[in-house]
A and B are shown apart, each in its own frame.
Chain A
Amino acid sequence: RKEVEQDPGPFNVPEGATVAFNCTYSNSASQSFFWYRQDCRKEPKLLMSVYSSGNEDGRFTAQLNRASQYISLLIRDSKLSDSATYLCVVNPKGPEYGNKLVFGAGTILRVKS
């Protein structure tokens, strides 16, 4: 079983749609969780950290369910510029171990006009 699993998609949605991505992780001791965005042939860019209480940043909402080892990302009012690969990322050990990140393979989002 992979440490971080995501539906690869692609998700093809019209502008203005709401879309949700899910991710599961295998290590119950994982400490930190993130969503990164990666455009084609570019580096991953941090989109948002994910907190236990859930958090929102504009049109983006991230939630964490530790009991189910499940992370989600909701994008409201999709824009053409949201088209990218969304990477679910987990720090499987605590900060004292150096913060190696484990990435999922990514979910492709295509927003069409």
Chain B
Amino acid sequence: DTGVSQDPRHKITKRGQNVTFRCDPISEHNRLYWYRQTLGQGPEFLTYFQNEAQLEKSRLLSDRFSAERPKGSFSTLEIQRTEQGDSAMYLCASSSGWGTHEQYFGPGTRLTVT
């Protein structure tokens, strides 16, 4: 399967714990995005990488959130001191750097903070 992959698919954690998610984009895509989706809403943009550079961050991304893409391939999203409001689906997408820039999504990581 050459699509976007994410790990883990589900994560249950207690409030105050740290969690880290991983995303592996489509191999030839140099752009990688993180979104968050809650029930009944469309995905909301969190941050974007071009290669290893983080070029844009949403104001939704509080200082408890950090994302990295150290070698321009896979990316990690870490949430520190989780809160119940962080419960959501975290989606990763990737796109190539040309054409219509269509984004392709991974299956997501569903986070539940208890």
Contact = CB atoms under 8 A, between A and B. Distances in A.
Interface of A: 4, 32, 34, 41-46, 49, 87, 89, 91, 95, 97-106
Interface stretch (B12-20, B75-83, B99-107): B99-107
Contact of B103 (A42, A101, A104): A101
A102 to B, nearest CB: 7
Given A49-B102, A105-B42, 19 more contacts: A32-B101, A41-B110, A43-B91, A43-B105, A43-B106, A43-B107, A46-B102, A49-B100, A89-B42, A98-B48, A98-B50, A99-B103, A100-B48, A100-B56, A101-B35, A103-B42, A103-B43, A105-B41, A106-B42
B33 A100 contact: yes
> Max chain A CB contacts within 10 Å: which of B95, B103, B108, B110?
B103
A62 B36 CA distance: 26
A68 B80 CA distance: 43
In which size bucket is the chain B interface?
Answer: 20 to 34
A96 B31 CA distance: 12
A42 B101 CA distance: 22
A104 B45 CA distance: 12
B105 A44 contact: yes
Contacts, number: 56
A89 B45 CA distance: 12
A57 B43 CA distance: 25
Contacts of B85: none
A97 B41 CA distance: 24
A42 B56 CA distance: 26
Contacts of B44: 103
A43 B103 CA distance: 12
Contacts of A101: 33, 35, 43, 45, 93, 103
Contact of A100 (B45, B102, B104, B108): B45
A99 B47 CA distance: 11
A104 B44 CA distance: 9
A104 B107 CA distance: 19
B43 A44 contact: yes
